[in-house]
Amino acid sequence: MKNIKYFMLVLIAIGFTSCEQDTYEFGALTSPSELTVVADVVGKTTANPNGDGTGVVNFTITGKNVLATKVDFDADDAVDLVDAPNGKITKKYSTNGTKTYQITIVAYGAGGVATTVTKEVTVKVSFAPAASIVTALTGDSNKTWVVDKSVPAHFGVGPADNPAPIWWSANVNEKVATANCFYTTRFKFTKLGAFNYTLQVTNPDGAFTKTGAFTSLPGIPASGDEGCYAYGGGTSAFSFASASSGFAASTPSTQTSIVLSGVDTYIGVASVQKEYEILSITPTAMHLRVLGYGPESGNAWYLKLVPAQ
């Protein structure tokens, strides 16, 4: 009996000791400070102070007490803050001509405290797509496309530095049973005038997308598997630009990309990246390539589309 009483007293003492140790404290909520933003305009020289015309700018963001950073690349359009992993991100501007953009950078510290800074960068873009590409894509008015489920490799993935989906490619009707929205979403490309184009995305069965940081579409859950998610569609401007893949001219590619504005639109599979390289295009078929983002930046996705019936 004495042993039992002693054992109970030990348990009670341990319980009190444990309660006393369950004390949690937040660290100091220190705002990020001393933020530095370097905008490296590709091809910038004394002779070409605003770059080589490709519109590519590499941003590097540093500072004290910075845990994460997001960037809005143009104050003239809707706010679309994009994650900059490790304070580094590349933006390809596509508005032809020389334009000064106001960039907004939000740096987050412990507990979500944030510091915001702005910076201006002047970029030159000089690119005119082949007339045949514009005609094939838009019909010189408007034209609607869908993912072509009737052919093999209408969806695929491969390494970013290789121009082919060598890792995986879809079979005919691959996702009909699991993600049919991939095939029912419609992408309407419209030519409004010279250098003036729009894309309208219509999602009767939702958007085919990843979740969280792997998509820019608003309202998509923060976590979950790749699949169909409720989405009302959207419309945005787009431009043509020289492809930034850097592949040799002998590589099967038009060397031309479709660059979407904002965060509301995508082509085929929703991506944070907004540059879709046109590997090939005719009036009846289109083959696209889009790079991954963040942890998937070493990947490239491939898509085959046809005009909607």
Q: What is the mean pLDDT of residues 114-128?
A: 93
Note the pLDDT tens digit of each residue in 166-210.
999 999 999 999 999 999 999 999 999 878 899 999 999 999 999
Note the pLDDT tens digit of each residue in 155-175.
999 998 888 999 999 999 999
- What's at 33, amino acid-wise? S
Domain with CATH 2.40.128 in the chain: 131-307
Residue 94, pLDDT score: 82
Residue 281 burial by Cβ neighbours in a 10 Å radius (0-12, 13-18, 19+): buried
| Multiple choice CATH, 131-307, 2.60.40, 1.10.10, 2.40.128, 3.40.50 | 2.40.128
Distances (CA, A) of 136 to 27, 139, 198: 58, 6, 15
Question: Measured on CA atoms in the order 57, 62, 67, 71, is the torsion positive or negative?
Answer: negative
Residue 169 CA to its chain's centroid (Å): 21
304 in helix, strand or coil? strand
Q: What is the mean pLDDT of residues 98-122?
A: 95
290 in helix, strand or coil? strand
Considering only CA atoms, give the Rg of the chain: 25
Residue 7, pLDDT score: 39
Is the pLDDT assigned to residue 64 strictly greater than 60?
yes
Q: What is the mean pLDDT of residues 107-133?
A: 93
Q: Which CATH class is domain 33-125?
A: mainly beta
Give the pLDDT band of residue 14 (cuts 50, 70, 90). very low
Percent of all residues in the chain with a pLDDT value above 90, rounded to a whole number = 68
What span, in angstroms and rounded, lies between the C-alpha atoms of 274 and 262?
9
Residue 9, pLDDT score: 40
Residue 171 CA to its chain's centroid (Å): 26
Q: 102: number of CA atoms within 13 Å, CB side? A: 8
What span, in angstroms and rounded, lies between the C-alpha atoms of 305 and 126?
28
Domain with CATH 2.60.40.10 in the chain: 33-125
Summary mean pLDDT of the chain: 88
Is the pLDDT assigned to residue 301 strictly greater than 60?
yes
Give the pLDDT band of residue 10 (cuts 50, 70, 90). very low
Is the pLDDT assigned to residue 23 strictly greater than 90?
no
Residue 227 burial by Cβ neighbours in a 10 Å radius (0-12, 13-18, 19+): middle
CA torsion 246-249-254-256 (nearest 10°) is 40
Residue 78, pLDDT score: 73
pTM (2 decimals)?
0.71
Q: What is the mean pLDDT of residues 274-290?
A: 96
Nearest to 70 by CA among 210, 211, 213: 213
Residue 107 burial by Cβ neighbours in a 10 Å radius (0-12, 13-18, 19+): buried
